[in-house]
């Protein structure tokens, strides 16, 4: 599925110096993964000595990145 970034997630990503490819890597191959009760998903992975947490929602036709930490 294609991956889309919310306006908020894209701004936070840029502020924290993360590339889109790093965030996508976390979603595609997390070291830790959990589905929350409201359907949002949390993926965590260490990329280049930095732990990145991505919160996203899987829609019917795409994955929507909500925020990155």
pLDDT at position 24 is: 97
pLDDT at position 9 is: 97
Tens-place pLDDT, residues 1-60 = 999 999 999 999 999 999 999 999 999 999 999 999 999 999 999 999 999 999 999 999
pLDDT at position 49 is: 94
- Inter-residue contact 22 to 12 (CB < 8 Å): no
pTM recorded for the entire structure: 0.93
pLDDT at position 7 is: 97
pLDDT at position 55 is: 98
Residue 5: which of 47, 17, 21, 44 has the closest Cα? 21
Residue 30: which of 14, 52, 50, 10 has the closest Cα? 52
């Amino acid at each position: 599925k294609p991956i889309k970034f919310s306006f908020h997630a894209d701004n936070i990503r840029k502020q924290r110096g993360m590339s889109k490819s790093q965030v996508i890597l976390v979603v595609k191959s997390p070291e830790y993964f959990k589905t929350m009760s409201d359907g949002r998903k949390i993926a965590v992975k260490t990329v280049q000595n930095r732990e990145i947490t991505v919160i996203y929602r899987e829609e019917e036709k795409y994955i929507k990145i909500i925020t990155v930490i």
